[in-house]
Structure 1
Amino acid sequence: MTIDSQAFALDLPADVEERRRAANAETLSRLTAAEPVLVDVAPAGDVVPGMTPSTILTSGAPLEWHEYTGGQRRAVLYAAVYEGLAADLAGAEQAIESGRVQVRSTQQHACIGSVAGIYTASMPVLVVRDETHGNTAFCNLYEGESRHRLNYGSYGEEVVTGLRWLEEVMGPLLAECLRRTGPIRLKPLMARALRLGDELHSRNTAATLLLTRELTPAFLDLESTEHAAAARAVFEFLSRNEYAFLRLGMAAAKATADAAHGIPYSSVLTGMALNCREFGIRVSGLEDEWFRGAHPRLEGRFFDGFTEADAEWIGGESCVTETIGLGGFAQACAPTLQAYQGGTSEAMRANNEAMYAITVGEHPDFRLPPLDFRGSPVGIDVFKVLETGVVPVIDGGLAGKDGGQIGAGVLRPDLDCFTDAADAYRRRYVTG
């Protein structure tokens, strides 16, 4: 999509533009210097700031409870039942409306959520610390290969069994592994996965294998302990679930983006997120305001038996990977995604190359072999988006109205939220 770029000329005073460029350079430095490290796996209630036994987190810019609809609302209600905060959906509604259960955005708690992005206090989370800047981010664990998952708005015996297994087996086992191996540095692993065919959003095959290799010495060490059965079960889970690393990549991206947030005069994005009502962006120099617009346009492939009429927006924050130069911004690395989300290798390369026009730099560590090892485009600039009319390319999955994943593809947001962010920038730094 292109627009008349003259309509969106910067038109900033020279002193503001000078400060903006310096701030964007600092933002880029923070985005590329971050060193995300997996340090622990623990129940959300034990480690997530502000999390209480009666708190439920969900994806996207914050909404009031009455604004949540469809699958995202349903997933929150199911979470209350799962956590034992209500006996049934009607009881969950009453508990939330009375204030006995609080529903908040993952973004308000340094968390990041896949699709509906449901967190309850008992759920295990990956704890990722940026060693360069000292901040920490959290992401919950991948539920498994079934298309019926709580984060896709599904609930039932299969979903509950899977969640309990994560809580009772996988989470504690991973924590035990880290006690034995020490923290796992994620950026070198992610950089290598790009060279092995991942883009680290919709394809995480190589990254999951590399993670499994990192954990294997601990698995072997645990074979002679009381953890042996759990170690074998977790190894088997990782072996058959190629998406398992995505949650680590999301936590790493969240920690990285948060480290680059709050730089005055910066016009670089440090967050993109979906909820059931809208797409939103966060800008480093505009504090914690979310600029909201229409849901992205879908260019995707539906799984057998489903059509566009079956799709529903129920949230999602895995597009945080795009804010740090991955996902659609490294799409050329993963031509095998054609079988999953459609498209052609030529189109994927063109999508990737177009992102250099809207970013402030190239990543020194995330290098793209199909583009002659050029650094991935990183640091989405609100004003460059508006000047060029080029919008971010986001890889993503599609949820169905009746729960479950029904397809995948490329998401392209509209310009409305970028326009609002640019207007807010001018009000703050020009007309203030």
Structure 2
Amino acid sequence: MTLAANAAAMKRLQAVRPNWRDVRFARDVLGLPEHTLLHAGPPYADPCRPSAPVLSSAILCCIYEGWAADEQTAAQLIASGRVKLVSAQSYEVVTPLAAVISSGTALVEIADGDGDAAWSLLGSGAGPQIRFGSRDPAVIERMKWRDKVLAPALAAALAAGSIDLIPLARTGLDHGDDLHARTTAASVALRDVISPRLNDPDIDAMLRQTPLFFLTLWMAACHLMMSAAARDADPSTTLVVALAGNGIDIGIRLAGRPTHWTTTVAAAPAGPRIDPSVLTPAAALTGDSGVIDAAGFGAQALMLAPEPAAAFEPWLPPDWRREQACLYAGVHPCFADLRCGLDAASVVSQNAAPLAAIAMIGADGRSGLLGRGLFAAPVDLFATAVRSLNP
């Protein structure tokens, strides 16, 4: 029954055509209540005590929203529960690394032709970022520019028509992207489409200087595909529709039981550092972007991406190309050179840890981005999830 159920889920996944349709604010599209922040990964056991990087991002967001005048007051609001931290995926949102989303946050809206949609954070260029989980006050100024300047300009550009992401992703893969650790070519292709619609040279310059701009769009696109796989799925379906961490726990969801998180304590990604002399420990897995790897990109596309593959080589297991391909259920017609659809049952039967390319951020909640990261998800987590389908 599982093979037939997985095949049906794969057909739904393959039928999705993700388009960048709009830029919208969380309060409008999600109905997100005030004093609520969405975070990556499974729900916290104690939302009043998030991981240090998420706490830092939440503190900055409280100040940005005007809920607190300083870091101490913001920390008290979170610790008391007056500001609530909620898993973003419960709202069909995926958010990168330690980024949190408030009601005033601008989101990219990725939609399929049948009206289904998913959302992620609107990127705001290079430099200080809410997703890096630091206390850098420059992040607040960047958030203001994102929501007051960038969001309206991109929304106006998209009013001329939505942008099909599949051809852009294909271009990225054909030119050395893995679509997670590296999205350079896909971001260039996206700029080529949207630049003629822009009137602000500063925004065009930002797009030109941000090789990872495509990332959050592709996160939402992969989430949309995985949500389709889970729609009306047979309870025996073992496709993984979420692979994410909150900085404390790693969690997965299976298509056969899509609202249930199976979790365990998370380890940290490992990989090359921006500055090898910075010895700050990396935070435990943080971010929703593992959905990219679960779909079949990211670490699963490194054979097409020589630059990130070379950077990760010391951390890649032997025979990773063959081993990883065995964990995936099928092939997407637009990406025939890759396997897609991570299958938890195959992870268990092969006893092989699936890889995800998720960046490293400082565990101290101060240091921010440390470098690229590679994460091996524990096999036992998938075994527990598969058992939960047949309690």
Instruction: Name the TM-score, length of structure 2 as normaliser.
Output: 0.93
Tell me if the contact between 2:118 and 2:221 (Cα under 8 Å) persists in the aligned partners.
yes
1:54 aligns with 2:38: no
2 CA distance for matches of 1:298 and 1:96?
Answer: 27
What is the CA-CA distance between 1:420 and the residue it aligns to? 1.1
Tell me if the contact between 1:114 and 1:316 (Cα under 8 Å) persists in the aligned partners.
yes
- Aligned CA-pair RMSD: 2.1
1:210 aligns with 2:189: yes
Structure 2, unaligned stretches of length 5 or more?
none
What is the CA-CA distance between 1:297 and the residue it aligns to? 5.8
2 CA distance for matches of 1:217 and 1:279?
Answer: 41
**What residue identity is the alignment partner of 1:137?**
A
- 1:225 alignment partner in structure 2: none
Structure 1, unaligned stretches of length 5 or more?
1-18, 220-227, 368-373, 428-432
CA 1:305/1:358 → structure 2, altered by over 3 Å: closer, same or farther?
closer
Q: What is the DSSP-based 3-state SS (H/G/I as helix, E as strand, rest coil) of the residue aligned with 2:389?
A: helix
- 2:20 alignment partner in structure 1: 38
1:414 to 374, 378, 386: 378
2 CA distance for matches of 1:24 and 1:403?
Answer: 42
1:268 aligns with 2:268: no
- 1:379 alignment partner in structure 2: 341
- 1:315 alignment partner in structure 2: 286
Tell me if the contact between 1:38 and 1:127 (Cα under 8 Å) persists in the aligned partners.
yes
Deviations 1:124-149 (A, max 9, x none): 110111225x3210011224322x42
Q: What is the DSSP-based 3-state SS (H/G/I as helix, E as strand, rest coil) of the residue aligned with 1:289?
A: strand
Deviations 1:91-127 (A, max 9, x none): 2234345554322111111100100131111121101
CA 1:199/1:349 → structure 2, altered by over 3 Å: closer, same or farther?
farther
Kindly report which structure 2 residues correspond to 1:279-318, keeping only aligned pairs within 5 A, or say none.
279-296=250-267, 298-306=269-277, 309-313=280-284, 315-318=286-289
CA 1:155/1:299 → structure 2, altered by over 3 Å: closer, same or farther?
closer
Tell me if the contact between 1:294 and 1:416 (Cα under 8 Å) persists in the aligned partners.
no
- 1:14 alignment partner in structure 2: none
Kindly report which structure 2 residues correspond to 1:2-401, keeping only aligned pairs within 5 A, or say none.
19-48=1-30, 50-63=31-44, 64-132=46-114, 134-146=115-127, 148-180=128-160, 182-219=161-198, 228=199, 231-262=200-231, 263-264=233-234, 265-296=236-267, 298-306=269-277, 309-313=280-284, 315-338=286-309, 341-343=311-313, 350-367=319-336, 374=337, 376-400=338-362, 401=364
1 CA distance for matches of 2:241 and 2:217?
Answer: 18
CA 1:314/1:326 → structure 2, altered by over 3 Å: closer, same or farther?
closer
List, as ranges, runs of 4+ consecutive aligned residues in structure 1 with deviation greater than 6 Å. Answer: none
2 CA distance for matches of 1:62 and 1:85?
Answer: 23
Counting aligned pairs with the same residue, the percent is 28
Larger proportion of helix: 1
CA 1:353/1:235 → structure 2, altered by over 3 Å: closer, same or farther?
farther
Q: What is the DSSP-based 3-state SS (H/G/I as helix, E as strand, rest coil) of the residue aligned with 2:361?
A: strand
**What residue identity is the alignment partner of 1:140?**
L
CA 1:349/1:206 → structure 2, altered by over 3 Å: closer, same or farther?
farther
Tell me if the contact between 1:272 and 1:320 (Cα under 8 Å) persists in the aligned partners.
yes
Tell me if the contact between 2:48 and 2:85 (Cα under 8 Å) persists in the aligned partners.
no
Q: What is the DSSP-based 3-state SS (H/G/I as helix, E as strand, rest coil) of the residue aligned with 1:212?
A: helix
Q: What is the DSSP-based 3-state SS (H/G/I as helix, E as strand, rest coil) of the residue aligned with 1:40?
A: strand
Tell me if the contact between 2:180 and 2:292 (Cα under 8 Å) persists in the aligned partners.
yes
**What residue identity is the alignment partner of 1:38?**
W
1 CA distance for matches of 2:276 and 2:221?
Answer: 35
Q: Which has the larger radius of gyration?
A: 1
Tell me if the contact between 2:267 and 2:285 (Cα under 8 Å) persists in the aligned partners.
no
Tell me if the contact between 1:331 and 1:349 (Cα under 8 Å) persists in the aligned partners.
no
